Structure 1
Amino acid sequence: MTTKATGGIDRAQLAALLNEDLSREYQAIIAYVIYSQALKGAKYMPIADQLQTHAAEELKHALTIARQIDYLGGMPTATVKPVKLTENSEEMLRADLQNEVDTIKAYRERIKQCEALGEFAIAEHIREILLDEQDHLIDLATALGENAPDLTK
């Protein structure tokens, strides 16, 4: 049943949206694995080590999201969003930064949708994931010598 109070979605639609998020988590795992090994230049070595940690955290996120999809009666996807392949270290970090921006925005929306449906436990799992995603965003922005982007706009 869809209602205005739930943002127009039901449990099946929430599962479908979480599958999009799961595809983005797979993308992050692959990108972090590749980029952590392919980054070149002394100034990128500290972030390369962090990207390995990020890859492991993204795997935990994928497992959490897959479990929530199953709970909602859906089947977790095997589809991966495209990973940008480049040999340019700055482009790698910028691609990762954009992926984190997209992920954070999606999860913020997902929390609202979960709560509107009364799925408070799923919302709490996503909040925990958001803590890591925001840290990843800060790490990437710092490695690029920038402030973290303002995602409230």
Structure 2
Amino acid sequence: MSENREAQAADAETAPPSTRKEIIQGLNEDLAREYKAIIQYVVFSSTLKGAEYGDIAEQLKQHASQELEHALEVARQIDYLGGNPTMKSKEAEYSDDSKKMLEIDLRAEQDTIKNYRERILQAERAGEFALSEKLRGIIAQEQDHEIDLKDALGLR
């Protein structure tokens, strides 16, 4: 067993069952948000109109791939903690307006970042340090997505 897996096993054994249940519930909410992000990025990257959005459309395709990686990692962590990963997505939003699409994605990223920050604190309070480290890696990419969207919208 690798050192990382051993650390995760030790963490999972020390967290009280009720705390683990709360973390699993929160992670399933996070997973549902990741599914929503994948859907929106796939659709928006294909439907953005206007020369000014050419670069961001390519970035959205990359974001979709990264969100899939996040979903896979979150599902893995849920399973590791003894839960069942959700198969339900948060409801995806849509607009025909390219700027509005990016604003929808920006709000979603900000919401996701806020929730991952809460989940990191929750994991650390429960002694789930390996989980909090995994989530830190995810949140770093989510913040990069936020920066890309703000740049595309001229907000930075």
TM-score, with normalisation over the residues of structure 2? Answer: 0.88
Q: CA offset at residue 86 of structure 1?
A: 1.2
Distance in 1 (CA, whole Å) between partners of 2:94 and 2:152 is: 19
**1:1-153 correspondence to structure 2 within 5 Å:** 10-147=19-156
Give the counterpart letter for 2:35 in structure 1.
Y
Structure 2 unaligned spans of 5+: 1-14
Give the counterpart letter for 1:129 in structure 2.
I
Query: Which moves more between the two structures, 9-18 or 28-37?
Result: 9-18
Q: CA offset at residue 28 of structure 1?
A: 0.4
What's the C-alpha RMSD, in Å, of the aligned pairs?
Answer: 1.0
Distance in 2 (CA, whole Å) between partners of 1:32 and 1:76 is: 21
Q: CA offset at residue 21 of structure 1?
A: 0.2
TM-score, with normalisation over the residues of structure 1? Answer: 0.90
Q: CA offset at residue 13 of structure 1?
A: 1.1
Secondary structure at 2:91's aligned position in 1? Answer: coil
Q: CA offset at residue 83 of structure 1?
A: 1.0
User: For this pair of structures, how many residues does the alignment match?
Assistant: 140
Q: Which runs of 4+ in 1 moved over 2 A?
A: none
Report sequence identity in percent.
55
Distance in 2 (CA, whole Å) between partners of 1:60 and 1:111 is: 18
Distance in 2 (CA, whole Å) between partners of 1:27 and 1:126 is: 18
Greater fraction of residues in helix: 2
Give the counterpart letter for 1:131 in structure 2.
A
Give the counterpart letter for 2:143 in structure 1.
Q
**Which structure is richer in relative contact order (CA contacts within 8 A, separation 6 or more)?**
2
Q: CA offset at residue 102 of structure 1?
A: 0.2
2:11 alignment counterpart: none
Q: CA offset at residue 80 of structure 1?
A: 0.5
Q: CA offset at residue 117 of structure 1?
A: 0.2
Structure 1 unaligned spans of 5+: 1-5, 148-153
